[in-house]
């Protein structure tokens, strides 16, 4: 017994020492890694690979960490644009090379990046692009380059825009599930896949209209960057003339057909590097640790609130909008005397109507505190995403933002046929009041219950209309004309009064400074993402290799896309409560 305590304490001390040693080794590895990347030489090229999803704010998405061998942190759109801006005046950076095949970024994000790259070219430095092949969106983004190079065996998938929407009604009928659906707005198409077998005429009209707008915007950008006429581009898309590299060059889509080693040789000559010597590339993630992107400082501040992702009640996940996450943050911003204006950056297809209303109310209180609120729209600002921005003093959108979709719906699955007839499960009920067992997927809805749900849907729709009418200074009748759940592009949104002007996030910040009458200010971004070293260490160690992000289980891009589509359907089926959201996030290849 006498030896127990010395042995016990010695063991504890040993464990503590080992733990401390591990921490110091990890810190040392981090410092060593930083020292290796703490410089870059003259005559360097900033290398961009913009194929993966780009969040609005760095770190504001759920993803694997590089700490345990996961993916690099996804840099936010504004961070990337600031790095491109810094590279333009960086004497060590001689140009930019974009290496893209595909891209998963949205259409409005592409426009923002193109604008940033076009501004970079004003410095006189070069931009070149290289690809084995180009998807349509990748080609649009890379068309800003001075010269475009492609593998001789590649091609350009330029063929216009289309939409393929899945419909589940026949499948649900076969398995014995009926979706009880309640909606407001003829164009509110989120419920169509569950109640129809093909697109309604309303949905065909709105989809054809916004796809045409998207095509026109793309053609306008390509005509300017590639010096091709709209007529020529239309012919190229009609005949699919970019399908091989040789054809793509013949019609003017690309400048040269180079294998990768030939492109490398071209760069060496362009930058004065000896044959066989290594090209001095700097990755975007590395440049983020080195570049000077410090913004103006001062006592006065403009807050950017990133409203990014689906709107889900009670969620505290990264990349999700909820009243739980945003109420405290908005209250803090309202009470901060140094914050003089707010820019609400929306990139959301919408979601829970209750959460949208609560966030709208808090933004109204910020306005009541004398702080102007300017809304800036990204790829999407639709349905609930538009709801939260409806009261903004000014609304700024990109021409190809998808917005509007002012409508509401609820869905409740009725699985009584599946349970009773297909698998032989019956439910018997006893209740003290008429609705005690109602609104359940295992009990058939009564006519009275259906009437109540439809009434609730229309009540929320009327409130949505009221919020838009008040915020946009339009009559209720005028708002209903452009509502009905219809999706609009930012370009058309400006024509009908849903948007005040076309522009990007920086344009919105400038408007906010003018509204607040300030010239010197610091930009602060929300939500803040804070985690101390030890919390990060414990989280990453506990996560380990066995609980990787589920998307890493899918090897191909197609498998990941199917999983993402499943998640979208799952989100729609979460619609027992009233929802204001798009039916799907449209894929633009």
pTM: 0.85
3-state secondary structure of 127: strand
List the pLDDT tens digit at each of the 589 positions of the chain.
445 445 544 555 554 545 555 554 444 444 444 444 457 889 999 999 999 989 999 888 654 333 333 344 689 999 999 999 999 999 999 999 999 999 999 999 999 999 999 999 999 999 999 999 999 999 999 999 999 999 999 999 999 999 999 999 999 999 999 999 999 999 999 999 999 999 999 999 999 999 999 999 999 999 999 999 999 999 999 999 999 999 999 999 999 999 999 999 999 999 999 998 999 999 999 999 998 887 777 799 999 999 999 999 999 888 899 999 999 999 999 999 999 999 999 999 999 999 999 999 999 999 999 999 999 999 999 999 999 999 999 999 999 999 999 999 999 999 999 999 999 999 999 999 999 988 999 999 999 999 999 999 999 999 999 999 999 999 999 999 999 999 999 999 999 999 999 999 999 999 999 999 999 999 999 998 755 444 444 434 443 333 334 444 444 455 555 545 555 555 555 555 677 777 655 666 7
What b/e sequence results for 257-289 when a residue is b if at least 16 CB atoms lie within 10 Å of its CB, and e otherwise? bbeeeebebbbbeeeebeeeeebbebebebbbe
3-state secondary structure of 153: coil
300: number of Cβ within 10 Å = 19
Written as six digits, the tokens of 209 are 């209209």
Give the C-alpha separation, 125 to 43, whole Å: 11
Give the residue among 543, 390, 524 at the shortest CA–CA distance from 470.
390
156: number of Cβ within 10 Å = 29
Distances (CA, A) of 48 to 128, 137, 303: 10, 15, 28
Give the C-alpha separation, 568 to 375, whole Å: 25
Q: Return the H-helix or E-strand segment holding 329.
A: helix 323-335
Written as six digits, the tokens of 365 are 């209180």
Give the residue among 204, 170, 173 at the shortest CA–CA distance from 189.
204
Distances (CA, A) of 516 to 335, 369, 374, 472: 16, 12, 11, 20
Looking at residue 74, its pLDDT comes to: 83
End-to-end CA distance of the chain: 72
Domain ranges of the chain: 44-159+240-290, 301-581
Looking at residue 530, its pLDDT comes to: 59
Please say whether the beta carbons of 586 and 402 come within 8 A.
Answer: yes
Whether 301-581 and 44-159+240-290 are alike in CATH topology: the answer is: yes
Give the C-alpha separation, 243 to 153, whole Å: 10
3-state secondary structure of 169: helix
Give the C-alpha separation, 100 to 131, whole Å: 6
Give the C-alpha separation, 513 to 372, whole Å: 9
Looking at residue 584, its pLDDT comes to: 57
List, in order, residues 6 or more apart from 517 with CB less than 8 Å away: none
Tell the residue number behind the tokens 């419920």, with chain if given.
191
Phi and psi for 404 in degrees, rounded to 5? 80, -125
What b/e sequence results for 115-134 when a residue is b if at least 16 CB atoms lie within 10 Å of its CB, and e otherwise? bbbeebbeeebbbbbbbebb
Looking at residue 319, its pLDDT comes to: 87
Q: What is the 3-state secondary structure (H, E, C) of 487-550?
A: EEEHHHHHHHCCCCEECCHHHHHHHHHHHHCCCCCEEEEECCCCCCHHHHHHHHHHHCCCCCCH
What string of DSSP letters covers 73-99?
PPPPHHHHHHHHHHHHT-TTEEEEEEE
Give the C-alpha separation, 408 to 460, whole Å: 7
Written as six digits, the tokens of 86 are 């810094």
Looking at residue 536, its pLDDT comes to: 47
Q: What does the DSSP 8-state code read for residue 321?
A: B
Task: Decide the pairing of beta strands 301-308 and 501-502.
Answer: unpaired
Give the C-alpha separation, 279 to 553, whole Å: 34
Give the C-alpha separation, 389 to 356, whole Å: 9
List, in order, residues 6 or more apart from 144 with CB less than 8 Å away: 114, 117, 118, 121, 127, 225
Identify the architecture of domain 44-159+240-290 in CATH: Alpha-Beta Complex (3.90)
User: What class does CATH assign to 301-581?
Assistant: alpha beta
Distances (CA, A) of 152 to 128, 156, 158, 254: 17, 11, 17, 11
């Amino acid at each position: 017994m006498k030896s127990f305590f010395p042995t016990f304490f010695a063991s504890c001390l040993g464990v503590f020492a080992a733990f401390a040693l591990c921490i110091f080794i990890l810190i040392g590895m981090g410092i060593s890694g930083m020292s290796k990347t703490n410089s870059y030489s003259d005559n360097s090229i900033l290398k961009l690979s913009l194929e993966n999803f780009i969040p609005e704010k760095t770190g504001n998405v759920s993803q694997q960490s590089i700490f345990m061998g996961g993916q690099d942190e996804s840099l936010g759109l504004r961070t990337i644009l600031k790095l491109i801006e810094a590279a333009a005046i960086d004497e060590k950076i001689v140009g930019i090379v974009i290496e893209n095949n595909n891209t998963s970024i949205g259409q409005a994000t592409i426009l923002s990046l193109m604008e940033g790259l076009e501004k970079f070219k004003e410095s006189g430095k070069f931009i070149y692009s290289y690809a084995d092949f180009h998807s349509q969106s990748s080609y649009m983004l890379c068309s800003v380059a001075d010269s475009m190079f492609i593998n001789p065996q590649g091609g350009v998938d330029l063929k216009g825009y289309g939409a393929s929407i899945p419909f589940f009604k026949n499948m649900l009928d076969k398995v014995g599930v009926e979706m009880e659906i309640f909606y407001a707005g003829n164009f509110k198409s989120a419920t169509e896949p569950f109640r129809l077998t093909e697109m309604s005429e309303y949905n065909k009209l709105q989809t054809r209209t916004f796809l045409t707008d998207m095509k026109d915007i793309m053609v306008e950008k390509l005509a300017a960057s590639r010096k091709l006429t709209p007529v020529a581009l239309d012919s190229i898309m009609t005949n699919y003339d970019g399908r091989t590299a040789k054809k793509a060059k013949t019609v003017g889509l690309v400048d040269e057909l180079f294998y990768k080693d030939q492109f490398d040789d071209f760069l060496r000559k362009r930058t004065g590097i000896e044959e066989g010597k290594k090209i001095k590339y700097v990755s975007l993630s590395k440049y983020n640790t080195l570049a000077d992107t410090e913004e103006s400082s001062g006592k006065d501040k403009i807050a950017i609130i990133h409203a990014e992702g689906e709107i889900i009640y009670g969620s505290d996940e990264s990349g999700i909008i909820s009243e739980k996450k945003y109420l405290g943050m908005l209250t803090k911003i309202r009470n901060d005397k140094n914050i003089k204006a707010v820019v609400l950056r929306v990139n959301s297809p919408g979601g829970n109507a209750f959460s949208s209303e609560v966030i709208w109310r808090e933004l109204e209180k910020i306005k009541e505190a004398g702080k102007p609120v300017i809304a800036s729209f990204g790829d999407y600002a639709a349905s609930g995403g538009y709801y939260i921005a409806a009261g903004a003093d000014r609304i700024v959108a990109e021409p190809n933002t998808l917005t509007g979709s002012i409508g509401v719906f609820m869905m409740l699955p009725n699985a009584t046929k599946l349970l009773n007839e297909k698998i032989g499960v019956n439910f018997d009920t006893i209740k003290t009041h008429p609705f005690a067992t109602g609104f359940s997927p295992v009990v058939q809805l009564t006519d009275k219950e259906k009437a109540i749900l439809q009434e609730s849907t229309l009540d929320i729709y009327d409130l949505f209309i009221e919020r838009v009418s008040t915020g946009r200074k339009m009559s209720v009748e005028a708002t209903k004309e452009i509502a009905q759940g219809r999706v609009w592009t930012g370009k058309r949104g400006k024509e009908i009064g849903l948007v005040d002007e076309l522009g990007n996030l920086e344009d919105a910040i400038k408007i906010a400074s003018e509204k607040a009458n300030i010239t010197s200010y610091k930009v602060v971004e929300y939500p803040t993402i804070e985690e101390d070293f030890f919390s990060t260490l414990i989280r990453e160690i506990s996560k380990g290799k066995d609980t990787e992000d589920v998307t890493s289980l899918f090897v191909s891009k197609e498998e990941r896309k199917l999983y993402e589509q499943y998640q979208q359907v799952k989100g729609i089926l979460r619609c027992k409560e009233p929802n204001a959201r798009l039916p799907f996030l449209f894929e633009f290849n």
